Each structure stands twice: as C-alpha cells, then as structure tokens.
Structure 1
Amino acid sequence: TMNQSKTISRLWSCLKIYSLGLTLLKLSPACTAKPQAQRRHAAHFTYHPEPAPSQYGPTQKMNLFQSVTSALDNTLAGDPTAVIFGEDVAFGGVFRCTVGLRDKYGKDRVFNTPLCEQGIVGFGIGAAAAGATAIAEIQFADYIYPAFDQIVNEAAKYRYRSGNMFDCGKLTIRSPWGCVGHGSIYHSQCPEAFFTHCPGIKIVVPRGPVQAKGLLLSCIADQNPCIFFEPKILYRAAVEQVPTEAYQIPLSQAEVLQEGSDLTLVAWGTQVHVLREVAAMAQEKLGVSCELIDLQTILPWDTETVCKSVVKTGRLLISHEAPVTGGFAAEISSTVQEECFLNLEAPISRVCGYDTPFPHIFEPFYIPDKWKCFEAVKRMINY
C-alpha cells in the first residue's frame, strides 16, 4: 500500500543517515586522535597539588584514597571503640580505601556487611548510640537512597526526638561521589542536595588529599552524624604531601583559594579544580580577577565567607555536577541574593548539571566543564 511504501522509504532514509553518521564518526579526527580507552578516561580538569602543610608535622606522598586510609588508620589506632563496616571494606573496598586495616586491627573492628544500605546505616546508628565511633561506608553515593529513611528520619532526628537523652552523633557515613567520566546513573551522581534539606546532619566534600584526611577526621570527631562524600575521580588523580599524624580541618569553614576583585567562584569537590582553570582563563583572556572559594562543608555552609566575597566582587558564579533544579547552588544563590542584593552588579549564575538522569556516553556533554563556566563568566562581566 501507499502508507507501507512511505514507511519503508522513511526507514531506508534513516538507515542511510545512520550509516553516514557512523562513517563520519570513524573519520573524525576527534575520534581517531586517541584510543578509545584513553578518550573514555580523559579528565575534564587538571589537578594541581597544593603546597605541603607544615603545621601538622611530617608528611608523606599520598593520593586521595591513601589519605582516607591514613585517617581511618589514625582513628582505629587512637579510639578503641572505632569500627569500620560496609560492603567489601574488609577486603579493602572497591577503591582500596580500607586496604590493610582488617589485618592490622582485626575482623571485629573492620568487617563486611550484607548488601543492604538501610541495614548498614541502621547498624551504624545503633553502634553510635551505644557509644562506639561508627564509620559506615556506602559503596557508591548512588546507592545511598535505600538508606535515606534511616539517615533523615533516624540519624538526623534521634537527638531531637529524645530531648537530647540519646544521640548517634558518633556516626560518620563515607561514600565515593561524583562523576568519573563513564559512570552513568548508578556511579556518577551527586546526591548532597537531598540531605541538605534535613537539619541534624553535616555534609562534607573535600577537594584533595590534605583536605580529605583533615575533614574526615573532623567528621569522625564531631558530635553530630556526618556524611562524607569522596570525589572518586580524585582517588588516584589527586596526589599531595599529606601529614601522617592525625589532624583536623574545621567544619563549616569555606576556604578562599584565590583572592580576586571582579567575580566570586564557588564550588566543592572536583568542581573546585574546574573553576581554578576558569579563573586562570578569565585572567588571561578577559583581564578578569576571580576569587575562588571551596565551600568544603555543604551543611551547615559558611555564609559569611561567601557573602563577604560577593560584597567585594559584586558577582557570583556557583558550579556543581548535580542537576541545576533543586541543587545546592540554588540555596547559596537565594541566601546571597537576600544578603547582598544591593552589592550585586549582575544576576547570580549557576552552571550545573542538566535536569536529566546522569548519562553514560554523553557524560562529557553533561558535566559543567570549564568552557561552560567560562562562557558564564563572559556573560556576567558583559552584563
């Protein structure tokens, strides 16, 4: 029939277009320049090690996962009540963050759990309420959702519900977090904004090995339940001189990494390194002086440091990997608009992930890379 002929013709046209697309893709210099494995694992940022801190004693070269291991080692050595548990942690964990700790401290202090996130956090709440220093690992941040009820309805509210008679403040939940280049929906998400709506917990994301160890030890020592998200793409990419002894970096204090006068850049975790490159590009290509702030603690966040910077620069750009709608950049933007409205010289800009599930092969298009952030800087300066 006529309709069948039209349908076959359209299908044939689609097949020809698809075939042509595959041919062009194979011939594209962008696709032939590097082997597939190299392209897939290419990072969207460059990590620049920071100077070794001198105030905490002798240092040793560590990557980020080794600095986490060092923090856990210090805790187990100094606190006989400390226990570490989660899926595969007895064997070192997926990213090797607990490697060697079971052999050193015994199977009663570093042990595996069933594959049940709600059970992991529930056990941690009970252990912490009984007086133990409980360090739970959720294997990927994407897997934390089954434990959502335990975290927001039990851990976060236990002290409040009991009138301070009981608490689980000695609970720390660690989890690998953030995009990795090819992780897709179950291995690249950034769920921190889901938990920022819940009073009673603290949320922390480090940018490198020195901060990872100091902030993790602060979370473990803090008398409130904490969620510590570790940027998994930095586990091996970030290498610095890290103090071997225990030390703490205060929570809820943002750090100004670079002072500037024209525009404030705010990020946390991996995105700090993206914005560091954006600041250099803005200075070189536009003559724009950017002030770069690492928020470090997402909740409770350091409003004073951010607002003080915006009063000085008059402009604010916030960037994170999570979707833009309902992301924590919206909370920062709202607060700054209320506190610094008369100082703003341009609308606040949010450069974030799209409002879609985290993609697989299209992850390079999804992430807020330096080019997207740089375009936002240009728009703000020309506003």
Structure 2
Amino acid sequence: MGVYHDSIGTKHAGGIAVYARELAIELSSRHEVYVYTQEGEIAPELADSDVEVVTTPRFDVPTLNGRLSYSVGWPLPFGQQPISKLAMIAWSAYNDVLDHIEEHVDVLIDYQLPDDLLLSNLVDVLTICGFLSDESGGIGTALHSRYTKTETNFAISPYLADHVTETLGYDVDEVVLPGLDVDQFHPETLPAFDREEETILFVGRLIEAKGIFDLLEAVATLEQNVHLRIVGAGPAEGAIRRRARALGIADDVILEGEVPHEELPAYYTAADVFCLPTHVDSFAMVNLEAMGCGAPVVTTDLDGIKTYLTPDENGVAVPPEDPDALAAALGDLLSDPVRRQELGRNARARAREFSWSEQAAKLERLCAAELGIEPPEREQVRTRGEPVTDYTRSTYGR
C-alpha cells in the first residue's frame, strides 16, 4: 500500500497530514506501507513505525513560481500549493519515484485533488482519493472531475461526505473518521506552562478562517483577567500581533509558534479552556485532541464538529463569526469551574470512543474490496485507544 502526501512525514505537519500519517502507521502493522512525501524532519512516531518513507526534495515554491512566471512572460495564476505539488510529481517522474510506486504498491491513497488528478493518470496502480477538507469547486475541481481515473473515494466525516456528493458530484464509498491515541492525549499529561490567570488555548493554522480574530475580539471584551496562548503558524501572524495591540490585549497574548504534534497534549492540559472558533471545518481534529486531554472546549456549531461534540454536554458551540456569542460563552465557562470540570470529564469520555485502529480497518476493507481480495481477520487489528462507535451512515461503506 502507498500513501502520497507532500507533508505527511514532517514533524510539524498540520491536521490533514497527521490524519494521513496515523492511518499509514496503523495500516503498517498488517501490510507493507510506503509513504511518499517531501523531505524534512521526520515525525518520531513515523520513524519508529514499520512504514517505509520515500522522500523527494522540499521545493522552494516562491523561486519556482518566479522562474516559471519569467519563462512564460507573465505571473502564473496559481497558489504556492499547486506549484509545490506539480514540482514534487515532476521530480518523482524523472527520479524513479513513480516507478517505485508501480513496483511496490497495489493501491495508492492520495488526499488532494491536484495529486489525484496527476497520479491517477501517471501510475498504473489503483488510486483511491480521500477528501479531508471542504472543496470549493471551481476550475481545479472541474478539471479533476473530468480527467481523474480514480473511481473510489472516502471522506473524513458524514458532513463532508454529503458535501462532496451533493455539491461536487463525487460518489463517496466510505467515511473514515479521524482517530485518537487516548494514551497520548490524556488528562494526566504534565502541563507545558503555568499561569496565574485563567488560560484560553488556541491551536491551529493562523488564518482568518480559523476564527482567530474573532477570538481576539472576544478576549478583549471579557471581564476576567485571562491569558490567551496561541499555538500555530501561518500568514496572519503579523496581523494577529497588530490586532492584539490595537485591542489593548498584547500583554495578555503569547504566540507560541509551531509545536511538534507529540508535545501538544501538554498544552491542552495547561489550559483552562480550549477555543477553536473556526468558520469552516470538516472535522477540526484539535478539538478532539483537547477533549481527549479533558479540556473543556468552546468551538463553533459546524456540522463536521457535531460528529463528536454535543453542545452543552461535552463542549460548548457558538455560531461562527460571532465574537459577541463567543465572548459570552467564554465568560460563562471561565466563571464556572464546576461546569468546566463536568464538560472536561464528558469530553474525555467522548474522545475515548475514537481509535485509529477501527478507522484504519475501514480503509483496509475499502482497499481490499476494490482489489477484489479478502481483508485480514478483524482479530489481527492492533488497538491504540478504545474501540470506536461506528458513526458511518449505512449509505456509506460496504
């Protein structure tokens, strides 16, 4: 089995890459698994697994974009990600990586439409595409829909499966939820820091769509003296610092930068409240990680998040892009430690229902069905965490 993703192997990978990596690690306990990714500091859990990592160079996208634009005589209308993916696949074609795929892999799993469009046409191997985030349509989706040779797809949540089917017109054959290593994400993890003030933690990419500016607005109106710890990196970092200064809360905000994934549990346990006021998300894995650590979660009432979070039972949900509602929810929770403890206990119990082994077994069965073979006996599946309740609707899966 092969897994293709440009950043799946790196230590500082984001949520989508972590999802792909954890499934690959789980599947490697029963199959030969090859991961194809760009070089970087390999994540310890991947290095310690049975996965074989095949790397390409990490490409300097701004330089590539400049050179390509100079060659054609005008600026290219592409973002950095498509150029990076094109460069990775072109390098792979000329340096035998695609040959390696054909020689060693029976089924190749990819996770992004540009990758799938190219790979499904370039390798003589069964390809399966995983939809892990909202796709907006447009010319890229139209080109993929018209020219991809991939016929089998899965999605990260029931909500996303509906979106992909109803909005983009793709058939979804399975829902493969994220899992959680509940031994790693645990309430007894020693905190990464200690503050006298009550602490709100944000973890995510620093972009407006994650609701970080809504959170700044909300914190500025709270009556409580709070500390906001922001973990993550992204293009909005400078704007966040400027906005915090303009709101008069710069002294109450620390931007931690990127934190390796294996160190995140210590940040979750250090927080009094975890907050992700995201505008758009198909799942928001960091919420589930925080819940596994027993942190009370304040987030937005998106359909993908409701896959695991029940408002007022194991977390708090507010409308997206509503700083006033967010401030009210945070203020109420920060002033009620008893309710925080109750939500944290319920959150931990809910998180324990998810496991990577169960979700890997779903993907394994999907691959086996497409290859026309029988999957290994269920007893062979190695468990990390607790068994998962099957939230996949009967219209998905086999």
Does TM-score exceed 0.5, indicating one fold?
no
Give the number of the structure whose alpha-carbon radius of gyration is greater. 1
Q: TM-score, normalised by structure 2?
A: 0.26
